[in-house]
Amino acid sequence: MKSKNKVVMLVDCQSFYASVEKAEHPEYKNRPLVVAGDPERRSGVVLAACPIAKSRGVKTEDRLGEAYAKCPELVVIRPRMQRYIDVSMLITDIYKQYTDLVETFSIDEQFLDVTGSMHLYADAPEELARLIQTHVQAATGVYIRFGIGENKTLAKTACDNYAKKNPSGIYTLTKEMLPETLWKLPVSDMYMVGRRMTRHFSVMGLPTIGSIAQTPLGNLKQMMRRKFGKNSDIQAELYWRIANGIDDSPVRPGTHQVAPKSVGHMMTLPRDYAQLEEIKVVLLGIYIKTCVHKGSNLLILWRNNIFQVV
């Protein structure tokens, strides 16, 4: 990719929570480690597993019992969310030293538009990626991977499907490369496609990403209408554009500073609750937490099996 083209990067922190803990506990450097909740409660689920733990078969979302069965010598650390947020913000500040166009995608993923920065740091995007990679690891101990493309979709796709499997942790994906790379992958590997949509595409005779990309958009819309109804045109176009690496959305700094449009709370229960009185207590607790989050001062009553505000 030449520097005259738009250069967008999706930067991903490898096993982020586990990487933060390993950086701060060097005694666990060569041991399989996971970040998980209380093993005595239902919150005992693996949130992040280091590469060593993954090599032993441990997966994110495994129950701790399952993880221990796969790897009895597993080191388990309870999550420290505020610490992970702090490290994530530190990494973001490092990215901002290379470009002011940094968009938070998640706690461990950021989009960077480095188009205007290329002439200052390197002749190739991969060189700049290696420079940032070294900077972040030296400052935080966290190893990062780069998907590089001319837009956000290509960058995200490059990271998820190739950079994470590349020894360098860096991969550039161009539209010209799609027929020989992305299009050969199963549709389950496509960005924004989950298990249910994978089954739907299989039923529609679209098993690969290339089969979606090469279906004329009008035909894909018709197929989606037959499956999901007349309001599915936008969804059909979204999948078609992703499969073809088309994305004109800009990298938007400060997205995490925008006020949320909705507020919610959740909790994991220690056991199954079947009695209505127990369920009412749990629901009331969640409701109150949500109202407090919004700064409301409300009196909430249970009437006719629903909560009412007085």
Calculate the dihedral angle through the C-alpha atoms of 195, 240, 243, 253, rounding to the nearest 10 degrees: -90
SS3 label, residue 145: strand
Q: Is residue 109 annotated as part of the catalytic site, yes or no?
A: yes
Which of 103, 109, 176, 277 is labelled catalytic? 109
SS3 label, residue 278: helix
Q: How far apart are CA 116 and CA 7, in angstroms?
A: 9
Q: How far apart are CA 79 and CA 47, in angstroms?
A: 8
Q: How far apart are CA 275 and CA 254, in angstroms?
A: 45
Contact (Cβ atoms closer than 8 angstroms) between residue 97 and residue 248: no
Contact (Cβ atoms closer than 8 angstroms) between residue 186 and residue 161: no
DSSP state of 105: E
Which residues are known to be catalytic? 109
